[in-house]
Amino acid sequence: MSYRLDSEQSMLKNAARSFFEKEVSGALIRELENSETGFDRDLWNKMAGLGWMGLTIPEAYDGFEAGFTYLAVILEELGRSGLASPFFHTVALGGELIWILGSEEQKTAILPRVASGEIILSVAYAGADEPRSAADLPIKASTDGDGFLLHGSCLMVPFAQIADTIICAAQSGDQEASLFLLDPDTPGLTIKALQTTAQDRQSELLFNGVRLENDKLLGKKRQSWPVLQQLLHQAAVAKCAEMVGGARRAMEMTVDYSKERVQFGRPIGAFQAVQHHCANMLTNLDSSALITRHTCKQVSAGTASVADMAKCKAWVSDASRKLLLLAHQVYAGMGFMEETDLQIYFRRTKAAEQIFGNSSFHRETVAREIGL
């Protein structure tokens, strides 16, 4: 396995870290969590000005075509900052779906605007559980003359209330799926805000006879599930990069706290129990970073198998949760106080553990892939 970044990736990582350390603070995160949208347009525009929105978009559509590994570098630093952002679904999932499945007209109309930061994308596909097949998609699409009718409800759609376009996956036949480009103001669509553990902005989408014309179909009718499934596997790996960044920051804070917090006349870091907790945190962090960076390189090279990506998400979900629990043992009750940043990372990690399938979901995937 390869752990180290190359020189260009290291430069990008350092630039991203400097940016987020300057622009994102615990105070800003709390402010956004208590705001109506949970979104800072000025910060978004600054990120776009650095070219990050177009990182994986082809040059023909005003992007940089840098590849998945470079995207993972940004996501790791985004995770380290603790910021909840529509960047993930706009770039790592939505933009990829449009690039792979979209018509030339759709790509020309949307991708340059994604690259410039002009528009925000969200992706709606899941119900109460992560879908394993097209039959599990909670939205049903039926043909209606020269268009489509959509019914059902979809959970945990991130930043739907500020998205310019929502990509919706719908069951359109037995084991078949179609994807649609959806305007949030479409008649028949209701966007209902959800209260989440991470205190980010996620919504339930209710489809009550939403009618879409044929030009809103993304890709070919009833042929989108294999592409969506592959990109969801890749998105799980991308989420691992974000989780590694959050875990890294949680460990940094915990080590600093163990040096500063004094009990019985000496820093708590002098006690063996705390030392062992921190050592175990580092073990979980480094193993997560190793498998994530290795799998990211496989994804970028097109050699990652389903089992490779599932192993990565299963491991990082468990290891990150263990790391945050150890951090809270070191902090004790102080770690859950609202004014302490550690609780932000605990909530982000818990939410990330579930999205794109939790560790049990991915262990079952690995078991199937090896014939069990």
Paired tokens of 88: 């993930």
Closest by CA to 93, choosing from 197, 227, 288, 247, is: 227
Residues 182 and 111 in one domain: no
Q: What is the mean pLDDT of each run of 10 residues along the chain (372 residues)?
A: 81 97 97 95 97 96 95 98 97 96 96 98 93 94 92 95 96 88 96 90 95 93 91 98 98 98 96 98 97 96 97 98 98 92 96 96 96 94
pLDDT digits (tens, 9 = 90+) for 132-184: 999 999 999 999 888 999 999 999 999 999 999 999 999 987 789 999 999 99
Residues 24 and 55 in one domain: yes
Paired tokens of 163: 């998205």
Count of domains in the chain? 3
Domain-located, residue 2: no
Residues 242 and 177 in one domain: no
Domain-located, residue 281: yes
pLDDT digits (tens, 9 = 90+) for 48-57: 999 999 999 9
Whether the pTM exceeds 0.85: the reply is yes
Considering 194, 224, 254, which residue would you say is the last residue of a domain? 224
Considering 119, 137, 157, which residue would you say is the last residue of a domain? 119
Domain-located, residue 274: yes
Residue 291, number of CB atoms within 10 A of its CB: 23
Residues 112 and 127 in one domain: no
What per-residue confidence (pLDDT) applies to 145?
87
CATH of the domain at 271: 1.20.140.10
Closest by CA to 243, choosing from 362, 77, 366, is: 77
Considering 172, 200, 224, which residue would you say is the last residue of a domain? 224
Residues 17 and 109 in one domain: yes
Domain-located, residue 33: yes
Q: Please check whether residue 245 is in contact with residue 77, taking contact to mean a CB–CB distance below 8 angstroms.
A: yes
Closest by CA to 253, choosing from 350, 313, 331, 314, is: 331
CA separation for the pair 343, 327 (Å, rounded): 10
Domain span at residue 23?
7-119
Closest by CA to 113, choosing from 93, 97, 90, is: 90
What per-residue confidence (pLDDT) applies to 136?
94
What per-residue confidence (pLDDT) applies to 2?
56
Domain-located, residue 48: yes
CATH of the domain at 131: 2.40.110.10
Q: Please check whether residue 75 is in contact with residue 356, taking contact to mean a CB–CB distance below 8 angstroms.
A: no
Q: Who's near 340: CB < 8 A, 6+ residues apart?
A: 331, 334
Domain-located, residue 282: yes
Q: Which residue's entry shows tokens 């007209």?
A: 105
Task: Give 218's Cβ-side CA count (13 Å radius).
Answer: 29
**CA 183 from chain center: how many Å?**
22
